[in-house]
């Protein structure tokens, strides 16, 4: 396949790829002309990884529905899932009770896990590109602390009202959603307090300050209302327990909006990787692109947190694994992170449901066990590169 030389790309063109060319990775600046240069990856490799991502989602879907306190034959489960498609009528061999388990109990939970995992991994890849920081996480801007504080307030108020408030099906998710977005907005305001030149480092420091503030408020409330500690901690450790399709319908619009905005602007993350001055010379408005991507990723993270509680490390594990295996371009990282992130969380939920059956391990504990060593590995690798 013939490749167009990078030097032939006109100045001011933010996308250096061409039909039949290569998939761009992070940009490098040439020592003489200052033109941005893109290491390439063959497009065919991307198609294979996309197929692998879709296969992982299908495997996670069938495994998540098949495995549980009552194990069901994977082939019968796959046939019953196909029966949900219009015009398909297969004999799965499942009883009416088993069909109800598949369609009304396990399938909504697995689909919710796919959506939440995809959102957290997509947000993680987006944050890492925006902040140019491999340790960036969806909870970087105080999302976790803001959601935890708001949920604690809702539970405390609900307990004071005799449980009437927290008994409502939307109270806890709504409180988490409002708290998450409120924390992000406050982080933006603090990051902008230093002037118009708002660097990624300023936002990170503002996020640390906001997290400390909300965490202190949450600790104070828990000390004053010790009877609510167990209920709050059960949410903080993360869970995907859902009764029907209600939570899926709540998350789905935010998933669609976040995915569309981030994926449509994924090429701009490759341009931002060269720095603001070079990105501006290539025709991009760095601040506008950065804040649009941060807002979209934060919205998706808030929706995920509102439905599942705090599930950490997904936004670090998945994008980094994709980056190591499939390439450094965000045009590769973000779509694959969505697919593998959803599959990762759905399979992790299977472990949480079955490892200590009939008891259930909080899914946040499982992801922390997997993510802790992975985080240390990333940190050691980053130090080695910096030496």
Asked whether residue 14 is assigned to any structural domain, the reply reads no
Domains held by the chain: number? 1
- Quick one: pLDDT band at residue 335, thresholds 50, 70, 90? very high
* Burial call 98-136: b when 16+ CB within 10 Å, e when fewer: beebbbebbbbbbbbbbbbbbbbbbbbbbbbbbbeeeeb
CA distance linking residue 288 with residue 281, whole number of Å: 15
Question: Residue 34 pLDDT more than 50?
Answer: no
Asked whether residue 382 is assigned to any structural domain, the reply reads no
Asked whether residue 25 is assigned to any structural domain, the reply reads no
Question: Residue 93 pLDDT more than 50?
Answer: yes
Residue 97 burial (C-beta neighbours within 10 Å; 0-12, 13-18, 19+): exposed
For the chain, the maximum distance between any two Cα atoms, rounded to a whole number of angstroms, is 71
- Quick one: pLDDT band at residue 142, thresholds 50, 70, 90? confident
Q: Which conformational region is residue 310 in: left (phi greater than 0), alpha (psi within -120 to 50 degrees), or beta?
A: beta
pTM score: 0.80
Asked whether residue 12 is assigned to any structural domain, the reply reads no
Residue with tokens 């879907």: 61
Question: Residue 131 pLDDT more than 80?
Answer: yes
Question: Residue 213 pLDDT more than 90?
Answer: yes
Is-contact 145 369, C-beta < 8 A?
no
Summarised one tens digit per residue, pLDDT across range 271-321 is: 887 777 777 777 788 888 888 998 899 889 988 988 888 898 899 899 989
CATH of the domain at 199: 1.10.3470.10
Tell me the residue range of the domain where 366 lies: 47-375
- State the pLDDT at residue 8: 40
Asked whether residue 21 is assigned to any structural domain, the reply reads no
Asked whether residue 93 is assigned to any structural domain, the reply reads yes
Lowest mean pLDDT among 19-23, 97-101, 230-234, 289-293: 19-23
Which comes out higher in pLDDT, residue 200 or 77?
77
Asked whether residue 145 is assigned to any structural domain, the reply reads yes
Asked whether residue 381 is assigned to any structural domain, the reply reads no
């Amino acid at each position: 396949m013939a490749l167009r030389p990078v030097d032939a790309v006109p100045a001011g063109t933010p996308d250096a790829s061409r039909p039949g060319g290569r998939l761009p990775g992070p940009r490098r600046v040439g020592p003489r002309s200052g033109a941005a240069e893109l290491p390439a990856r063959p497009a065919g490799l991307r198609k294979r990884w996309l197929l692998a991502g879709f296969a992982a989602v299908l495997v996670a879907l069938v495994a998540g529905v098949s495995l549980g306190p009552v194990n069901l034959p994977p082939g019968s489960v796959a046939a019953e899932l196909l029966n949900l498609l219009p015009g398909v009528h297969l004999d799965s061999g499942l009883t009416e009770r088993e069909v109800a388990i598949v369609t009304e109990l396990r399938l909504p939970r697995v689909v919710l896990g796919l959506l939440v995992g995809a959102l957290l991994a997509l947000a993680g890849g987006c944050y890492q590109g925006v902040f140019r920081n491999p340790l960036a996480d969806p909870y970087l801007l105080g999302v976790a602390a803001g959601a935890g504080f708001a949920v604690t307030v809702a539970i405390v108020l609900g307990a004071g009202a005799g449980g009437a408030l927290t008994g409502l099906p939307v109270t806890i998710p709504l409180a988490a959603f409002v708290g998450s977005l409120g924390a992000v907005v406050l982080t933006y305001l603090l990051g902008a307090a230093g002037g118009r030149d708002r660097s990624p480092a300023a936002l990170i420091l503002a996020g640390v300050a906001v997290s400390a503030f909300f965490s202190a408020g949450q600790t104070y409330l828990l000390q004053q209302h010790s009877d609510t500690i167990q209920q709050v901690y059960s949410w903080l450790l993360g869970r995907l327990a859902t009764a029907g399709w209600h939570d899926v319908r709540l998350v789905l619009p935010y998933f669609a909006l976040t995915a569309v905005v981030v994926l449509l602007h994924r090429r701009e993350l490759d341009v931002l990787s060269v720095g603001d001055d070079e990105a501006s010379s290539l025709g991009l408005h760095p601040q506008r692109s950065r804040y649009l991507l941060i807002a979209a990723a934060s919205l998706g993270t808030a929706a995920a947190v509102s439905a599942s509680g705090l599930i950490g490390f997904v936004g670090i594990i998945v994008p980094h694994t994709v980056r190591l295996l499939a390439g450094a371009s965000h045009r590769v990282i973000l779509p694959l992170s969505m697919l593998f992130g959803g599959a990762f969380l759905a399979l992790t939920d299977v472990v949480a449901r079955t490892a200590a059956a009939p008891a259930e391990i909080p899914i946040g504990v499982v992801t922390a066990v997997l993510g802790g060593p992975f985080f240390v590995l990333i940190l050691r690798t980053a130090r080695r590169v910096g030496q």
